[in-house]
Amino acid sequence: MLDMGKEITVASVELTRRQGDARGQKGQKIYTCTEAGAADPGNPNSWSWMDHGSFAFDPNNNVPQSFGLSTTPRARYIKVYFGTEHKGTGGQAMLADLNVYGAE
């Protein structure tokens, strides 16, 4: 989970794999949450997360991969989830970078 420190209008999330290692995930789900939706700061599982769907990830690609959020939500928190359905050949998720781009 990423706390951006304030709410922004999110246009896209960009993920970069661990360089030179194609054993990581082949996809992910992206969620956002507003500050108001995070009523209990100590329990992120109870927050009102907005599901933006599953996105394919190319584990063989070293360059950043961008995932546009069609609803451009207002959010303070971003969660990227790597479930078993996104499992790559190595059984783990590996990221070098996560960037969030706003529409403001």
Predicted TM-score (pTM) of the model is: 0.92
Residues 95 and 78: beta-carbon distance below 8 Å: no
Supply φ then ψ for residue 86, to 5 degrees: -105, 5
Q: How do residues 56-100 score in pLDDT, each as one tens digit?
A: 999 999 999 999 999 999 999 999 999 999 988 888 888 999 999
| CA atoms of 11 and 23, how far apart (whole Å) | 28
Cα–Cα distance measured from residue 74 to residue 8, given in angstroms and rounded to the nearest whole number: 5
According to DSSP, the β-strands at 27-33 and 2-17 are unpaired
Round to whole Å and give the CA distance between 8 and 77: 9
Between 103 and 70, the higher pLDDT residue? 70
Mean pLDDT across 33-44: 95
